[in-house]
Structure 1
């Protein structure tokens, strides 16, 4: 009886939905009855609900269980410990020989190996779905597409199983997926509500687009800041797929987009023209045919950026494959009104199913062609690299061992060949020390990635960018580098070595820690968490240590052994343990009297107060920027940070905190009562760290009194009085600073610059707020150089404004201060070179005015 009731209930569900999966998604197809469809497994038609990620995983586990043609692997875990899975489908023969197929395929990417016979080599196809959690149709399409490939009795499906290996990643961003699914399902109406104003279609902040730390994972294929991307890229380099898909959604009033993207203006400069002019065109014909069959409207070539290497549709292009972006009009829920009528969730899924099948067919038909292209791509990379005037790039920071280790590991993760440098070299004004620097040859298979890491690009075919226009990763790490014709002299590196140091055995009057190392801030916070009293020395000095006479810069940390609550033996043991954990070199000073400079008990030495940090988040605040800050403090410092919605700030007593962080955003919702409290707290010694538009808001509220760079009379005069409507996007978009790199000048005596040894620093800017330097000549410690533009697009007018502005301004407010950042020191979790500016503001803010 219970089974009968359940059967009737399912029948009603299918009837109410208006379709059944077999007839709606795959009309006139027959399937192997031993393979359960998603509908049969889940108990509802696909499109009726947003399927939770754990159920997607369970369905793929079921396919693995019931068919020898499917194999499921967990390649890693997300921040919230959801499994990252790959389902592989191929014939029984191929599944039995999968590792041999993989190794033979990898011969194509190594021109030093003989070219394998590709005539019978299967196509390697990778279908990736759901990098944005609130673009949910693709993950549903992943289940349907995998089911079709495994169970369909069609000639095409059988041919695909016999002649290809297809890898499914059903959800690139599981954490964001579940955040959105919960929202959509819990706000669903019965019947569904199509009104775009309905709560179902308007997620609460921060929405499901991003991962746990509010990062856009479709930007992380290059930076590799997060575990989702790290394991995916490691898997990618195990396979080098011929084709990789990247499924998305866009505005509800749109139709469907597939590549080619906008010619020239949206293309990456290192990718061969053959990719854009030939391969994309070949595949586009399949997408058009499949969408023509169901009458779906579509478009190509107009917009969508394909230049930034960190996209899931661009990174494969720089690895000899074809990366494909698809954009589907979104129902943002289960049903939503559009200019063409109501769009159902099921309809959006169907479109992605169609292009998934089209991708597989195109990959199969072009199997040998794509294998040949993969080999050709890496052969031409080696030959082009050999012709590059820069035979090598040499890099290394003699002051920061941890940052060196991070950068070497980063290059190796992208399979770039790196060699030790065993000779002192001078190039581009830098001294590269043997043992503290490395060489990257240009003549190597990953030459195009080498260019991505080291090459500055300033000239573009377009002036409007969907995303970043600069991505030179050596700049992001503030890594000294230079092209060099020097012959590589050391062994090839296979892993990034972690620095180790001998702990001093001498009795110490005080322990000293150089602030130059990237992980020195983590060491400081770990010490403070453990109850160790730490002081900062605010002027340079030379001390006698176990290493002899040693020079130290301003910003050096001191642990005085005589001013501790911990017992002496416990203090020594703790410092030694934390130094090992954080790869920090500890110097022991036997006396407080220094060889040169101030002594250790000077009035210019003082206690470092342990930070207790609060950050405003919520509606109107940039979740990206807030996430970057949260991630930095979590992952690099292990520092807890209190995140409070702007609506709840009226309940906050700021005197419980040392620092308030204001990410970019709109703060007009904050009450007048809170503003009064804020002013009082700052004036009594509080520190605000304010980012970009937040500083503009503080300025408008007259909490700080800084001056914007005004539009010049020449610029006003040059602006046309009348222009064609059709060029509005291009003309106005060119005025934006969408993401580019500039050289800034540091005041190395200012606490914001503690830890930096060079007075020039690459900074990343992605906004058009230009603030003049402070009227106080001591409080603009970071300005731009005379010719600051390093890479990316900026208009001539904006470049002139930039030259008149400051990167960081300290605004005194009574006994406190606002530290204003107008660039992005924590951009995408990968600007290691400027992280320390932000951390200095946290630890040393009370010294900055």
Structure 2
């Protein structure tokens, strides 16, 4: 007991030290690096308050870095992008004045180690490139405050160690990767800050309102976006990254208030045969770890390693650089979530959290400089090793292409190019990606799939074969074929034939990914369209054409607009969306339905509403909002759960409910919702919202149940320490599966293949519909494509379940997705299922 009290006292003292007012000042953080150039203002001098006294807005952060670049010849600043809300994304470059003046030449020397055609060996003669990245999660704010202190120290300190760091490194400091989320949290924390400070955990300062500041404008987690590159923040950063290829990259985060501080090594990688070199996660991590432990020991901070987090998913800031020959480093700091908060070991203050982040960042610079030769040699070997055939390679090259959907193929190619993957056009609608290239490991991440794993519990996704995200038809080749022309840009990759004017009808190819956006555009222009419930072959002004289920038909004579106005609207829309449109001068088809058939049904324009707020998944809601905003250009009304009882549902014909807890919706509101659906409207649910709809009897249907077990059976005794891993493996963290799709169903219009990859990261299991016509997508008998799933989940649940069903209610319907068709803004392959529910929901009877 005596030792326990002593330990608690030590930990409390470490936290409480930060509370002393005089220690809030500069010396608490940077005292060991004195003296400083007095001509260069400290953050406190520039901002007018001590770091940690309040949260610093992003514009103030940028302004301070601009000041450093202006008053010192040892720093420059450049903008590499903008956030969704137009906040600047900047990079401060720090080195000696001489190095900065010669940076183009130094960069050329640095990139020679990345170029596999060169064989330079002057590892110790070129400054090491270090990229310090902060605040990818907006409500993990201590790191951006630490960035200010780090920038000041590296620019202004005259300490011999810092002088040495500047001489032997080029440091790129990105102060705020997610400025939109940061400012959302900054406003909250500063608005609710008390005087005196309130440490009570339940105080408003420590309990942000939904959606909280973690995510960006569209509520995306940018720390999952390095691979997927959906958001401008990530796309700008990737362009910068592949221009510089730093040797070391940091990724600063915060975690639960009762934690301490984490640095790498992480948990072992969950993949059975990691594509990341063993030297990275064994040698280099262990090379750097003593620097972090020594620095944190010096200031009395507690920490842990190895027992949490993993770098299996390649889309983190702490894993993507590992696949580019760098050493990526994760830091997690216990959060004060405000300025002062209670913990099990006393109080934790904002300045204390900032100091730990600052200390780890400075230790990173020290370790990188002292090991720069090893880091350079490792990066050089990393890229050269990409050309060495490995036993674990699944193919020599990959061939892909979808002849029916040029815009989805273009989007996939854009993603390949964003990661500097080389690909070639075979000239027949097919493209080839050879494995034998510098970005081999990214090629593997895009195409390879796995069924066996070393571990069964993952911090995040266990599957990320991006080709499946796009429902891209691809195959591995045993040898590399003749490559053809290299594709270096997506400009002019999609070229549709110019539109021919007709006075009869236009037929629009609904197979194209952009077709729903085109449909929305035309409806906003006041045009009336119908969709084909059966395929047909028709003569067009471009010749004979086969048309699929879902083909859009625009009858010219039935529009309020003139023939010329219709043509002008269509021609402009085609130019914008690059969707094939054909002119027909007759309604008589060569085969199948004629254009006047009752199997063409008019499409009502959607008026959509989505429930958001406490209890709902901000990730999924943001994915819906982002899809409709940025790709379909269709507005959706977002209503807070707390205001749902005030909504006049009769103003809308479509309601979206993403995963969440909807227990706040009263019985009376549920009855109103049922009545609204029965009037002919559409409710679309995903994930746990589908479970809720069934349990609340808003939708008919059942959830797949576990096999009943004998209640008298005694479970086998197991060690308590294994409880977490054993139960964790039954949580489906994220994997890819195959469903069988009913191509004749309106929800599947625009699809050509009856097998479709879907992403599942929940344990929602829907039984197939009792109606033989309402199971739209059912998991196949052998559904696994990529990622970890337990035998129990696979055999007892998935193989008995459906991914997408429709529940009729009166004249309306509930469309129930077991999975998330819009996951992380990247599932181009299943987006159309969701969009069809919006545009064609009213046509399902």
User: What TM-score results when the alignment is normalised by the length of structure 1?
Assistant: 0.95
Distance, in Å, in 2 between the alignment partners of 1:14 and 1:315 is: 37
Determine the C-alpha separation between the residues in 1 that align with 2:494 and 2:163. Answer: 54
Deviations 1:421-450 (A, max 9, x none): 14xxxxxxxxxxxx3111001111111111
Tell me the equivalent position of 2:457.
464
The Cα shift of 1:728 comes to 1.3
Residue 571 of structure 1: CA displacement?
1.1
Q: Report what 1:475 is aligned to.
A: 468
Q: Residues 14 and 268 from structure 1, CA distance in 2 versus in 1: closer, same or farther, beyond 3 angstroms?
A: same
Cα 1:389–1:779 shift into 2, 3 Å = closer
Q: Is the 8 A contact 2:603 2:839 kept in 1?
A: yes
Aligned partners of 2:273 and 2:392 also within 8 Å: no
1:95/1:695 CA distance change after superposition, 3 Å? same
For residues 842 and 245 of structure 2, the distance between their equivalents in structure 1, rounded to whole angstroms, comes to 51
Instruction: Tell whether the 8 Å contact from 2:394 to 2:448 is kept in structure 1 after alignment.
Output: no
1:695 aligns with 2:690: yes
Deviation at 1:507, TM superposition (A): 2.7
Q: Name the residue aligned to 2:443.
A: 450
Deviations 1:598-641 (A, max 9, x none): 11111111211111100000001000000011100001100111
Kindly provide the CA deviation profile for residues 714-744 of structure 1, in whole angstroms up to 9, marking residues without a partner as x: 6989993533221111011011111000011
Q: Confirm or deny that 1:175 pairs with 2:180.
A: yes
Instruction: Note the alpha carbon deviations across 1:3-30, whole angstroms, 9 max, x for none.
Output: xxxxxxxxxx998564311244434621
Residue 406 of structure 1 pairs with residue 402 of structure 2: no
Take 1:501 and 1:610, find their aligned partners in 2: how far apart are those partners? 26
1:135·1:248 contact (CA, 8 Å) conserved in 2?
A: yes
User: 3-state SS of the aligned residue for 1:811?
Assistant: strand
Q: In the alignment, which residue of structure 1 is the partner of 2:253?
A: 248
Aligned mates of 2:158, 2:697 — CA distance in 1? 71
Distance 1:97 1:580 in 2: 46
- Whether 1:360 aligns to 2:365 is yes
* Alpha-carbon contact 2:501-2:567 (below 8 Å) kept: no
How far is 1:509 from its partner?
1.2
Question: Which residue in the other structure is 2:616 paired with?
Answer: 621
Q: 1:99 aligns with which of 104, 111, 117?
A: 104
Q: Give 1:844's match in structure 2, choosing from 834, 840, 843.
A: 840
Counterpart residue number, 1:330: 335
CA distance in 2 between counterparts of 1:746 and 1:718 reads 40
1:188 aligns with 2:204: no
- Rounded to whole Å, the distance in 1 between the matches of 2:581 and 2:441 is 40
Q: State the partner residue of 2:820.
A: 824
**Match for residue 60 of structure 2?**
55
1:603 corresponds to: 598
- Flag the 1:57–1:715 CA change in 2: closer, same or farther, 3 A: farther
Aligned partner of 2:792 in structure 1 is: 797
The 8 Å contact of residues 252 and 330 in structure 2, kept in 1 or not, is answered as: yes
Q: 1:7 maps to what in 2? A: none
SS in 1 for 2:342: strand
Question: In the alignment, which of 648, 651, 663 is matched to residue 656 of structure 1?
Answer: 651
- The answer on 1:238 being equivalent to 2:232 is no
- Alpha-carbon distance in 2 for matches of 1:650, 1:23: 52
Q: How far apart are 1:303 and its partner, in Å?
A: 1.1
SS of 2:388 mapped into structure 1: helix
Aligned twin of 1:152: 157
Change (3 A) 1:717 1:366: farther
In the alignment, which of 475, 478, 490 is matched to residue 496 of structure 1? 490
Residue by residue over 1:534-555, the C-alpha shift from the partner in whole angstroms, topping out at 9 and shown as x without a partner, is 1111110010012221110110
Unaligned runs of 5+ in 2: 1-17
* Equivalent residue for 2:380, pick from 367, 375, 382: 375
Alignment equivalent of 1:756, drawn from 746, 751, 757: 751
After TM superposition, give the deviation of residue 266 of structure 1 in Å: 7.5
In 1: Cα distance, 2:199 partner to 2:441 partner: 47
CA distance in 1, matches of 2:187, 2:416: 38
Q: Does 1:807 align with 2:803?
A: yes
CA distance in 2, matches of 1:612, 1:528: 12
- 8 A Cα contact 1:385 1:443, kept in partner: no
Structure 1: 5+ residue stretches without partners: 1-12, 423-434
Shift of 1:319: 0.5
Three-state SS of the structure 1 residue aligned to 2:475 is strand
Q: 1:51 to 1:715 in 2, by over 3 A?
A: farther
In the superposition, relative to structure 1, how do residues 374 and 486 fare at CA in structure 2: closer, same or farther (>3 Å)? closer
Number of residue-to-residue matches in the alignment:
825
Say whether 1:211 aligns with 2:204: no
Q: Distance in 2 between matches of 1:799 and 1:17?
A: 59
Alignment of 1:31-110 (within 5 A): 31-110=36-115
The more displaced of 671-680 and 139-148 is: 671-680
Change (3 A) 1:716 1:817: farther
Q: Any idea what the Cα deviations from partners look like across 1:690-737, whole Å, max 9, x if unmatched? A: 012111111111111211111114698999353322111101101111
Cα deviation for residue 568 of structure 1 reads: 1.3
Offset at 1:106?
1.6
* CA–CA separation in structure 2 for the residues paired with 1:24 and 1:703: 57
Closer, same or farther in 2 for the Cα pair 1:717/1:532, shift >3 Å?
farther
Please tell me whether the aligned partners of residues 19 and 349 of structure 2 are also in contact (alpha carbons under 8 angstroms): no
- 2:203 aligned to 193, 198, 205, which one? 198
1:367 Cα offset (Å)? 0.6
Q: CA–CA distance in 2 between the matches of 1:747 and 1:718?
A: 42
Determine the structure 2 residue equivalent to 1:289: 294
C-alpha contact (below 8 Å) 2:24/2:51 kept by paired residues? no
C-alpha deviation, 1:574, in angstroms: 1.2
Cα displacement (A) at 1:461: 1.4
TM-score normalised by length of structure 2: 0.96
Contact 1:268 1:307 in 2 (8 A): no
Separation in 2, partners of 1:23, 1:281: 29
Q: How far 1:769 sits from its partner (Å)?
A: 1.2
Partners of 1:194 and 1:625 in 2: CA distance: 32
**Using the alignment, how far apart are the partners of 1:802 and 1:15 within structure 2?**
57
Aligned to 2:775, what secondary structure does the other structure show? coil
Cα-Cα RMSD: 1.7
Asked whether 1:306 is paired with 2:301, we answer no
2:773 corresponds, among 778, 788, 809, to 778
Say if 1:268 and 1:306, in contact at 8 Å, map to a contact too: no
Structure 1 residues 807, 85: closer, same or farther in 2, change over 3 A?
same
Seen in structure 2, the aligned counterparts of structure 1 residues 757 and 719 have a Cα distance that, compared at 3 Å, is farther
Asked if the contact 1:14–1:45 (Cα under 8 Å) also holds between the matched residues in 2, the reply is no
Distance 1:345 1:84 in 2: 24
Q: 1:731 aligns with which of 726, 739, 748?
A: 726
Q: Which residue of 2 aligns with 1:487?
A: 481
CA 1:357–1:816: 2 relative to 1, 3 Å: same
